[in-house]
A and B are shown apart, each in its own frame.
With several copies, the nearest count.
Chain A
Amino acid sequence: MPTTTTQLIEWLARFDELIQEQRGYLTDLDSEVGDGDHGANMSRGLAAVAASFAENPPEFADELAKSIGMTLVSTVGGASGPLYGTFFLRFGTSAGHTTKLTPIEFSDALAAGLAGVVERGKPERDDKTMFDAMEPAVLAFRTGLVDGDVRYAATLASHAADAGRDATADLVARKGRASYLGERSVGHIDPGAASTALLFQALSETLGQEAA
């Protein structure tokens, strides 16, 4: 069962809900290791994405993902704006001009998004960034497709993202504002990793529903 652009919209709509719910939590995390605006930045951006769905959104995956990416880029600001924005811009390029994505196409689009984040922020594993939640999630999704459907894959991805998020607590930040803290960043979860976990939670909930 291929994924439709309608589901992409549901995915982001759910992501928006989760971000607005968790805004304070994200801000608190960023206050501890950054400048305390991650909650505000993400909430501003996802609200704009949700609003953009109101007046009829593009029906093709590439156009839809690109408009999502551009909206994030132009409203989030800070470090996370270009990163999440690039994720969806590349997702769109990989998805191509279609209204339906096969599981493999969807997985490839996620991988393209991840590659975009790497290109943009040059994060390495264990730098204590959103990458530490995103990379395991994207790999888990692909693994899940080996012996399961997108729904199963999305569940694995969400679990992997949560695990990656939690693991950032033990790390010393080497990228972003938190890196100025050096050792003092240990013991705190990275805010971007936390918002990325919400992105994949939203995905599994969306695809999960559909299949239910």
Chain B
Amino acid sequence: MKKLINAPEDVLAESLAGFAAAHREVRVDAATRVVYRADPKPHGTVALLSGGGSGHEPLHAGYVGFGMLDAAVAGQVFTSPTPDQIVAATNAIDTGAGVLHIVKNYTGDVMNFDMATELATGAVETVVVADDVAVENSTFTAGRRGTGLTVLLEKIVGAAAEQGRDLAEVAALAWLVATSGRSMGVALTSSTVPAAGRPTFDLPDDEMELGVGIHGEPGRRRVPLASAHEIAGMLVEPILADYNFGGAPAVVMLNGMGGTPLIELYLMFGEVKTLLEKAGVVVARTLVGNYVTSLDMAGCSVTVLRADDEILGLWDAPVNTPALRWGI
């Protein structure tokens, strides 16, 4: 395992410490592993909390700041945080208007956030993101996984919260976004969990894992390595087959898994955009880069969100976080 780390068990704590050292605009509580805004929201504004296993940086801590999250709770690498951490963060950011929990749909995350909700003092609403079309029959599974759409939701709903909308309105918008987007990913290599020390799965040089999760869970199927053009098709097709984006403007993210350089991500985006437009999708806003990663995994994912003028307006609204910043 070749990594810029010290002892594997210290990776999370030390990385959070470096994050705190790098960003004055956030405050990190090392004990509970929670990242907060340095200057909290005005009283009476709905607060947003997200969190999950680590290893997906910049998700979630990188999105703490004006226009997005109020706090992010970090679990161990690929392991959901615990209720006590979540409760501490929830109570700390509640300005009296309640807190929205943004949860990626994994059994562990859902149950830990559920328990935290039962223990929290103030009002809590929860939105569960389950955008990964790679998981097919969700009736016989834990349901679709939460992946790339989480970033778009945190941005859009975060902007709405800054406007002073109440908890019910914020939660309703969150559910609208959560149900209007789809994602699909591919891995060219496996990620290596520091504690494990070896790749989670072996992938031959001439194969790739299509429909992969962000924890190195296996994907839909293993297929021969293909060209960027063909891969774009394999990602876009199941997304379009699953939801009708026709006509409406869309926010499109081409996300890197952590180990793939920008020169490739831009090339992939070109392919994806062409396919989407051929299918009648109006690509209104775009995001290209490493936004929801899986440690050092090479690969990418595509997220498409059906939008309208209101959602585009919230997307364009000022945001000022370590990983996403504009209009400010």
**A and B part of one assembly:** yes
Is B296 interfacial (CB-CB < 8 Å)?
A: no
CA distance A120 to B112 in the complex (A): 10
CA distance A74 to B81 in the complex (A): 9
B interface, size bucket: 20 to 34
Whether B140 contacts A182 by the Cβ 8 Å rule is: yes
Whether B200 contacts A180 by the Cβ 8 Å rule is: no
Whether A86 contacts B115 by the Cβ 8 Å rule is: yes
Q: Which residue of A lies closest to B211 (CB)?
A: A180
Chain A residues within 8 Å of B215, by CB? 35, 177
Whether A82 contacts B111 by the Cβ 8 Å rule is: yes
Q: Pick out which of these stretches binds chain B: A11-19, A36-44, A133-141.
A: A36-44
Is A114 interfacial (CB-CB < 8 Å)?
A: no
Give the number of residues in A that approach B within 8 Å (Cβ atoms).
31
Is B249 interfacial (CB-CB < 8 Å)?
A: no
Q: Known A41-B79, A73-B82, A180-B217; judge A79-B107 contact (CB<8 A).
A: yes
Whether B213 contacts A180 by the Cβ 8 Å rule is: yes
Contact with B along A17-57 (1 / 0, CB 8 A): 00000000000000000011100110000000000000000
Whether A180 contacts B75 by the Cβ 8 Å rule is: no
Secondary structure class of chain B's binding surface, majority of residues: loop
- Which of A36, A37, A177 makes the CB contact (< 8 A) with B106? A177
Whether A177 contacts B112 by the Cβ 8 Å rule is: no
Is B58 interfacial (CB-CB < 8 Å)?
A: no
- Which of A76, A177, A179 makes the CB contact (< 8 A) with B82? A76
Q: Which residue of A lies closest to B136 (CB)?
A: A182
CA distance A73 to B81 in the complex (A): 10
Whether B142 contacts A77 by the Cβ 8 Å rule is: no
CA distance A120 to B107 in the complex (A): 10
Is A181 interfacial (CB-CB < 8 Å)?
A: yes
- Which of A70, A77, A181 makes the CB contact (< 8 A) with B81? A77
Whether A78 contacts B141 by the Cβ 8 Å rule is: no
Chain A residues within 8 Å of B82, by CB? 73-77, 81
Is A175 interfacial (CB-CB < 8 Å)?
A: yes
Whether B111 contacts A79 by the Cβ 8 Å rule is: yes
CA distance A37 to B75 in the complex (A): 13
Is B207 interfacial (CB-CB < 8 Å)?
A: no
Q: Which of B134-148 contact A (CB under 8 A)?
A: 135-137, 140-142, 145
CA distance A83 to B84 in the complex (A): 15
Contact with A along B106-133 (1 / 0, CB 8 A): 1110011011000000000000000000
Contact with A along B32-47 (1 / 0, CB 8 A): 0000000000000000
Q: Known A74-B82, A77-B76; judge A181-B115 contact (CB<8 A).
A: no
CA distance A129 to B302 in the complex (A): 32
Can you spell out 23 A-B residue pairs with CB atoms less than 8 angstroms apart? Answer: A35-B78, A35-B79, A35-B215, A36-B200, A37-B78, A37-B79, A37-B195, A70-B84, A74-B85, A78-B108, A81-B108, A82-B111, A82-B114, A82-B115, A120-B111, A120-B114, A121-B111, A174-B140, A175-B107, A176-B142, A177-B215, A177-B217, A179-B142
Q: Which residues of B are in contact with A by a Cβ distance under 8 Å?
A: 75-76, 78-85, 106-108, 111-112, 114-115, 135-137, 140-142, 145, 193, 195-196, 200, 213, 215-218
